Structure 1
Amino acid sequence: MKKRNIGVLDYLTESLVNPLYQHDLYATYHLLAPALTNTEIQAIYVFDSQGALFHDGQMYPKNLGVAIQNTAVLDSVINRKKNYTAVDNHTLTIAKPILLGNMLLGGVSLELSLKQINNDIDQMSDIFLQENQQSLKSITLILLLAAIVLSFIGLLLSIFISNSLVRPIQALALHAKQIGKGKFDLVNSVQRNDEIGELAQSFNKMGKKLKARTEEITFLAYHDSLTSLPNRPMFIEHTSKLITNCLKTHQKFVVLFIDLDDFKMVNDNFGHKAGDHLLCEISERIKGHLTKNNMTPPHLDDALIARIGGDEFLICLPQIRVEKDINHFTQTLIRKIRAPITINTEQVIVAASVGIAKFPNDGKNAEELIKNADIAMFQAKKVGKNTFSYFTLEMDQHIKNRAKLERDLRKALVNLEQLELWYQPQFDLTNNTLCGAEALLRWNHPELGIIYPDQFISIAEETGLIIPMGDWIIQSACKQLKQWKSQLNGQPFHLALNMSARQIYQNNPTGIFKRMLKKYQIEAGNLHIEVTETLLMRDENEAKSMLNAIRQLGVEVWLDDFGTGYSSLAYLRHFEVDGLKIDRSFILDIDRGIYDKALTSAIISIAHSLDIKVVAEGIEKQSHIDFLKQQQCHFGQGYFYAKAIPANEFSEQFLPNM
């Protein structure tokens, strides 16, 4: 039983890496549900690195987050990162850690019922006992009769009994041992019409059932339950064997990593059942393309397709080595995937991004080839999706640099000493006086020096680090306003802060604004927040509710980068804002481009019509100021006045002049 189910456990620990890392309960349920159909498995528990239950295979886990009761399992899997096996009279328990590289994500525990085995043992023991008792009676009676009639006849009968009873039982005992070793194909040769014959047939049937069940479990361990394609473990095993052969023959092959673009939108719009249907259709298209392509050679020996989770597929192409053929194969595959698919009477189109890694240049083993093909796939998404990209060493270095930045950023957020707010002044264009500043985040890295937001904000957004970082920015800006209050001599002055999507949608920033305004005793009107149209597009109703709550505090809300989005006028109609910021791209070419002049004038005119203020960024020349004054733009900022500078420099350079 342990040998049969170790395969299931290995499959689960491999397959659950992404769902456990991403806290995807739905994907976890679909991975556990097929295993629970095995009558031997009475319970599956997936738990995180703290020992808390993550999933138990039910549609709605009842004890989600509750600590696992079996402390022996937790001690072995979490503390020692080792497999665990224990057996009692009723249950066989096996468990194994789930690792992402060397990082422990959690573990999986299978509880296997011994009820059927114990029943079989009891039944077979009863059968043997009955048969032995009956045999002993027969032997005793025959011996008595033989002793009375003739000792010679008794001897003949004894030989007959030995041949007819002991040898079949010995044969059955040997058969039972072979079944226990996993040799289910063996058939005993006992041919009798009595109870021993029935027992022999039962042994044969038991071997066939165990073989079928073992084959079913083996299939589940090496195949995707939705599409029946091979899974990641089988792909790795297949590719590893291919690598061994290629090292001997000096041949090359490629691995393709396929990820569907915007697949989540299908699940969100049509439901997960429709998404599963789409994945099955896509898998059929990939298989069809592999078996019916018109390339040379016409058939691909040792090629393999695998689904490794979610909307990700792998292809191993051992017979395609010329880059021209690889390009043709991949381009045709992308076109076939992009063909419309009917879901609920609607035509749905999904694209695919493909990353390509070559053996042996891009990896020496299966895991490395998959990883590098994955990196190339992300590059294909980065350049616009619906295309393919080959792996390069520069991509790998970029990923490593990004990973190092993420690690360093997490360290920096422990005590926040490396983060700084720099300030770029904003001037009132009507009288050329300082009226405020935009607070801009800088990371003073101990090794790399000053790092600008465009290099690390996206990492903070993806990892959720932007939330504590955003709280720190609000607090630091309020604290700075408090410190500058005495130097301002009552003159109007504001600080503008940029807000991210996660801060708006996940953190409810009104609470920290209230606390910081009260703590540092500053007027809410001295704070402006700037939001982009991209932020508003995610959930207009939620964004409107949150921004209105912030405005009710007295904090002004400004629309940043106005004119660069898709629906600027629509957002002005739907959202209440206190001002607009004209993107610097309009201002930089205002001397040469009549379109930029016209658009800038139109934006300022719209702001006047709506009775809201407008600030222009990117001012670098006196001519920019002259034009903006002529158009009655309220405020301006740019290198003409100053770049963003640290707080102490800002104070020395600008505040004494107030």
Structure 2
Amino acid sequence: MLPATAATRLLAVLALLGACTSAVAFMLDPKGTGATVYALVAAVFVVTIVAAPLARRVRPLRIWLVQTLAGLALLFSLFSQAVPLRIGPLRYSDITYFLGYVFLLIWLVLLNQRIASGGHGRRLLDGAAATIGVTLALWSAVLAPMADGAALPPALVWSVYPTMDVLLVSLCLHLWLRMGRQVPAVSWLLATLVLLLCLDLVNSITGILAPPGEWPQVMGLYQFFFLGLVMATTHPSLIRLTQVRAATSEGGRSGLRGALTLLTTVPVVLAVALPKTGDTDVIVRTVLVSLMLAATFTRLSISLRALARTEADSRLRATQDPLTGLLNRAALRDALTDLTGEPRDEAPSTAVIFLDFDNFKHVNDTWGHDAGDTLLRTVARRLVGRLEGAQVIARYGGDEFVIAAPVEDLADALLLAERLRRCFDEPVAVVTDRVHTVTPSIGVTVTGPLRSRSTDELMTEADAAMYEAKQQGRGRIVAFDAELADRHRLQARVGDRLAEAITADAFDLRLQPVMGGPGYGTVVGWEALARWHDPELGDVPPSVFVPLAEQFGLIGALGESMLRRACEERARLGGALGQSDLAIFVNVSPDQLLQPNFAQVVQATRDAAGLPRDSLWVEITESLIVDEGHAGLATLDSLRAVGVRVCIDDFGTGYASLSTLLRLPVDCVKLDRSLVAPLGVDPATPGRLRAVIDMVHSLDIPHVIAEGVETQAQAQALLDLGCPMAQGWWFGRPSAPEDLLTATSPRAPG
């Protein structure tokens, strides 16, 4: 058995040989055997045209049944050639052949309607204009000179076919331009219809100039029209003809416009240039030109309306956030520029309010991004509904929104910000039967009547105030003031000098003691802290340079430098004090944990300093590892595997939970100073601390350290609660390593 491809090629070759043989036979003997051979081969072709699509189970049937009717009409036309019956001047074969054209036309109209998402009316108008143009050209050049002769009725019959062909080619061309190379069957169909147009043009001219049947050479070539339809309908890609939806490329549109221009302008030129033969000729040309102008004008009007809609949509997409319908970031800047530059007698100042929703990531992680989108759309609706007087409401990006509105002064702006915050007192439904309470952190800045600051400066100020609100806690409102401005300027200056300072190793190491033993009388280790004194900036607090180092991607270099120096100083202190089991606690940033070789770097640094395996402790903030899928969890396992102990810092700030502690590979928990500070003030604090300490011990986490101990009363309360270790200013401020060499009686934790 032949492979499928080889069999297909063989059938194609046989079909081509059949077409050539039958065409030649008809040309040599158009009334005898040649005509019979021609009719039989053509009948086989037509049966194939009808059966092949149905055999491939093409869908939808309502479209392909029309193509089947076209094939059956052509088949009936072939068998009715020998029937002498007529209707007036027309034979039955002419009528059925014409019906085949009509069904082909309907089939192509349905195909165009099926694959295109819009513009079907424009395609029909294009086809109508092209058809009218060809009809006008045929009338002016061929039929009009014969208007007074007896040959007019057959001439009219012959001229109908080229007119129909132009419409067929136009519709098929639309298909081809949209489908491209996706469906080669369309290319075969287009080539076949172009061949048919050429044959019908030649045949209409010869049919007028000579008696019927005088040109068998032309009639014989129609066999290749049937062959082309066979190639189109048997191609495997045919089944995708009604499944693929594609847009016209710009190149295809340009080519189509050029072809339509020729088909509409050239006939008009001919109609004007060729001499008129009488009143009938003038009337026919006038009607055809009027119809063409009407089709062209209608097509132009539709195109202009579509262009106007497209431009409006483009402007909308360029200025509107697609999710919420609010202004986007680009439009916000323009609107804010207009608002701040507009002189006003009432409410002369302008407030810019920056909102960011706390813990929005939790919504996406818990219920999915669709729930997050629902939340953002609800936020947008509430802002629009509650703040009707606001001039500008925009989504800045993510869960960030910006409102700008005329206000009297800063106090008026803060009242507006409070109204914004209260918009979200009511929980938001994010999924079915699920609601979520959102709290916005809000930053406010105000520009006065003199408009002394640019739009970018206002946005930067509002953003800085919002960030400060987040640092202070959830649901806060912070106004950009002189203090915040100084801090913001300091951050900018720090950012400019930070990289140079890290490269120059300009940071100092300070060590704060961690106390244990009876009465917290023994130094069990130290926490390593980075300090920076800049010649120009003075003392720069860690709360300023650490976030900037993380933002600029410098925290890795800074962290490695401080880790190395901490290990070296710990080794020096241990040697000087005669103790090798003292602990050194080193803070680690989230970016460091995400480095693929971080555990190996820590191990190598510890070993290079000559420290024992369990003397190095790394501290991580609880907010870093709340997410179960956090990539840093694997790094923590690797650190513990090489003997480095892991400690959760700032425990109790609101992120971690019992389930978090259950799954984390940790050896120690450091209680945040916010849990310790109320001791002696809030009677409920000892009970809460005891519960936390007991919970940690019940989870087999051996070490607990209380941070922020500043008074003797706090230290005694912690001793009474059974907290084994403590740290804070009461025991000593961060000091240079040289200042610690006087410490005595050190002992390791646990």
Q: Give a deviation string over 1:215-267, Cα, whole Å, max 9, x none.
A: 22122222222233333443443443444441799944434333333333222
Residues 306, 314 of structure 1: 8 Å contact kept: yes
Given candidates 203, 214, 225, the residue that maps to 2:300 is: 203
Q: Give the counterpart of 1:418 among 506, 523, 535.
A: 506
| 1:128 match | 265
Deviation of 1:467 after TM superposition, in Å, equals: 3.1
Counterpart in the other structure of 2:334: 237
Question: For residues 271 and 593 of structure 1, do their structure 2 counterparts lie closer, same or farther at Cα, with a shift above 3 Å needed?
Answer: closer
Question: Larger Rg: 1 or 2?
Answer: 2
Structure 2 residue 734 is matched with structure 1 residue 644: yes
- In structure 2, relative to structure 1, the CA distance for the partners of 1:418 and 1:193 (3 Å cut) is same
The alpha-carbon deviation at position 117 of structure 1 amounts to 3.0
Partner in structure 1 of residue 37 of structure 2: none
Give the 5 Å matches for 1:144-159.
none
- The answer to whether the 8 A contact 2:580-2:611 is kept is no
Corresponding residue of 2:540: 451
Query: CA contact under 8 A between 1:191 and 1:197: conserved in structure 2?
Result: no
Equivalent residue number for residue 364 of structure 2: 267
Q: Which residue of 2 aligns with 1:287?
A: 384
Deviations 1:165-223 (A, max 9, x none): 9xxxxxxxxxxxxxxxxxxxxxxxx9962434433443333322222222221222222
Residue 241 of structure 2 corresponds to none
Equivalent residue of 1:208, what SS? helix
AA at the equivalent of 2:374: H
Which residue in 2 is equivalent to 1:20? Answer: none
Change (3 A) 1:373 1:517: closer
Partners of 1:232 and 1:500 lie apart in 2 by: 31
Aligned residue among 410, 416, 421 for 1:334: 421
Deviates more, 1:613-622 or 1:324-333: 613-622
Tell me the equivalent position of 2:485.
396
1:601–1:224 CA distance, 2 compared to 1 (3 A): closer
**3-state SS of paired residue (1:246):** coil
Q: Which amino acid aligns with 2:381?
A: E
RMSD value, Cα:
4.9
Q: What's the TM-score, normalizing by structure 1?
A: 0.60
Say yes or no: does 1:228 pair with 2:325. yes
Report matched runs for 1:25-104 at 5 Å.
none
Task: Choose 476-485 or 346-355, whichever is displaced more.
Answer: 476-485
Report the counterpart of residue 253 of structure 2 in structure 1.
Answer: 116
Whole-angstrom distance in 2 between the partners of 1:249 and 1:582? 53
Amino acid at match of 2:358: D
- Aligned residue identity for 1:121: G
List runs of 5+ in structure 2 lacking aligned partners: 1-116, 120-248
Q: How many residues align?
A: 496
- Structure-1 residue corresponding to 2:43: none
**CA-CA distance at 1:497 after TM superposition:** 1.8
Counterpart for residue 439 of structure 1: 528
Q: Matches of 2:118 and 2:560 in 1, distance apart?
A: 50
For 1:517 and 1:495, locate their aligned partners in 2 and report how far apart those are by CA, in whole Å.
11
CA distance in 1, matches of 2:443, 2:715: 49
- Give the whole-Å Cα distance in 2 for the aligned partners of 1:250 and 1:563: 44
Q: How far apart in 1 are the matches of 2:594 and 2:687?
A: 35
Do 2:623 and 2:656's aligned partners in 1 also have CA atoms closer than 8 Å?
A: no
1:520-535 pair list within 5 angstroms: 520-535=609-624
Please tell me whether the aligned partners of residues 705 and 727 of structure 2 are also in contact (alpha carbons under 8 angstroms): yes
Q: Distance in 1 between matches of 2:542 and 2:490?
A: 15
Deviations 1:457-507 (A, max 9, x none): 233345553333223332333344555675455653332223334434566
Quick check: which one's strand share is greater?
1
The one-letter amino acid of 2:363's match is V
Q: Tell me the equivalent position of 1:186.
A: none
CA distance in 2, matches of 1:384, 1:628: 26
Note the C-alpha offset of 1:115: 3.9
1:374 equivalent in structure 2: 463
Determine which of 348, 373, 378 is the counterpart of 1:276: 373
Matched with 2:343 is 246
Q: Does 1:309 align with 2:397?
A: yes
Give the residue type in structure 2 aligned to 1:344.
Answer: V
CA distance in 2, matches of 1:632, 1:328: 47
Give the Cα separation in 2 of the matches to 1:513 and 1:395: 37
Cα separation, partners in 2 of 1:199 and 1:565, compared to 1, 3 Å = closer
Match of 2:639 among 541, 550, 554: 550
Between the two proteins, what is the percent identity of the paired residues? Answer: 27
Corresponding position of 1:180: none
Among residues 396, 400, 407, which one is paired with 2:496 in the alignment?
407
Q: What are the equivalent positions in structure 2 for 1:175-194 lying under 5 Å apart?
A: 193-194=290-291
Q: Could you tell me how far 1:125 is from its partner in structure 2?
A: 4.1
Structure 1 residues 368, 524: closer, same or farther in 2, change over 3 A? same
Cα 1:398–1:507, aligned 2, differ >3 Å: closer, same or farther? farther
Task: Provide the secondary structure at the position in 1 that maps to 2:423.
Answer: helix
Shift of 1:526: 2.7
Partners in 1 of 2:680 and 2:349 — Cα distance? Answer: 57
User: Is contact 1:261-1:385 (8 Å) kept?
Assistant: yes
Paired position in structure 2 for 1:493: 582
